[in-house]
Amino acid sequence: MTALEVAVELCDDIAAIHRDRRVLPWMWGPALLGFALAKLDEHLGEDRYLSCLERYGDHYLANPPSITYSDHVAPALVTWTLERKGMDRFAPLTARAVDYIRNAPRAVDDAVNHLGRSPWNWIYPRSVWVDSLMMFSVFPAMYGRIEGDRYLLDVAARQPAQYARRMFDEESGLWHHAYWVRFGPFPNVFWGRGNGWVVAALPMILDQLPDDHPEREQILGLLGRTSAALLPLQSEDGTWKTVLKDRRRWFKSRGGYRELSATALVASGWLHGVRVGYLGEEYLDPAQRALAAVTGAVRRRGGHVELPEISGPTIPLPFAPRLGYLMTPKGSNHPYGVAAFVLAAINQDLLERA
């Protein structure tokens, strides 16, 4: 089976399981899964998952969510997709996210404070997280271009350089997970999925920018430099570890288990980048090996389809951060991991059709 066929089989099973269950939270993980399902429908030319997306949106129309930090912005990818299919009833939910983007607390310059106005912001240092490239920036880039909102487009376009100034490590070419306003980049451990967010999100943002946008060349440069740093860190089986490298001279080794959400994110970003010309052909074979590794890991067990080896939600811990990454448990079918696989499979199929 092709990666796309496996992705459809996996999504069909997940959609059937959740059809009669509690609606997933208004959060980044379910949002990215919903976005991937919408993109899969678009790619297939079907409304295969539309009822799942409508159920999600209708639940939050009846139970309006609080949007208090970056992870609450991503669900607008789902509600805005439904709007664009003529379902105007979801506009108030999208508008909530747009309003938050315009008024979100910034941590430094225009870089958004990842935890925003949430209760977590009272107990965690004011900080910028690399995750926000996907959770906070992709939606306003798409919305800004299509809806003609130049302010939102420019906000999205400014985030990569703002983040890079604080979290991109010039020596390694990799990204720190976070930047603490009082203390600087943190931690000195390079997390696999965090760097995957970068590689997957930057092509999505670039797609929305006009050729003469002032941020375009810098974003292209960041994508190229991050990709070049990741290339020699790919394992023989095509995957990446949950910890890529440690910046400290006395602890250079990669560590921990192989992590398939990071692997799928890098595969998606590289396939996307090669397809539209943001990256060179040297990334094609590594991207295909990465996607093949993820596809090959999908298993059928107990009558269901599972994508395993996805680390759980992960934060940069104040103490023993490297151990925190290594001890984060793995699970199957975490929605963000499935989303990464689906997006990679779509990009692979688009590349083959080109």
Who contacts 326 (Cβ-Cβ below 8 Å, separation ≥6)?
Answer: 242, 243, 255, 256
CA-based radius of gyration for the chain: 19
- Cα 300 to Cα 304: distance, rounded to the nearest angstrom: 6
Query: pLDDT tens digits for 191-206?
Result: 999 999 999 999 999 9
Query: pLDDT tens digits for 136-178?
Result: 999 999 999 999 999 999 999 999 999 999 999 999 999 999 9
Query: pLDDT tens digits for 18-44?
Result: 888 889 999 999 999 999 999 999 999
SS3 call for 244: strand
Query: pLDDT tens digits for 167-200?
Result: 999 999 999 999 999 999 999 899 999 999 999 9
Q: Tell me which long-range contacts 210-213 makes (C-beta under 8 A, separation of at least 24).
A: 213/157
> Could you tell me if 61 and 93 are in contact, meaning their C-beta atoms sit under 8 angstroms apart?
yes
Residue 247 pLDDT: 56
- Cα 106 to Cα 202: distance, rounded to the nearest angstrom: 20
For the chain, the domain total comes to 1
Beta strands 241-246 and 255-258: pairing type?
antiparallel
- For 155, counting Cβ atoms within 10 Å of its Cβ (0-12 exposed, 13-18 middle, 19+ buried), the class is buried
Which band of pLDDT confidence, cut at 50, 70 and 90, is reported for residue 234? Answer: very high
Beta strands 304-306 and 310-311: pairing type?
unpaired
- Cα 271 to Cα 10: distance, rounded to the nearest angstrom: 21
CATH number at residue 313: 1.50.10.10
Six-digit token string for 46: 């079907």
In eight-state DSSP terms, residue 168 is B
Residue 245 pLDDT: 78
> Could you tell me if 134 and 112 are in contact, meaning their C-beta atoms sit under 8 angstroms apart?
no
- Percent share of the chain, pLDDT over 70: 97
- Residue 32 domain boundaries: 3-353
Residue 255 pLDDT: 72
Which band of pLDDT confidence, cut at 50, 70 and 90, is reported for residue 250? Answer: very low
Query: pLDDT tens digits for 42-53?
Result: 999 999 999 999
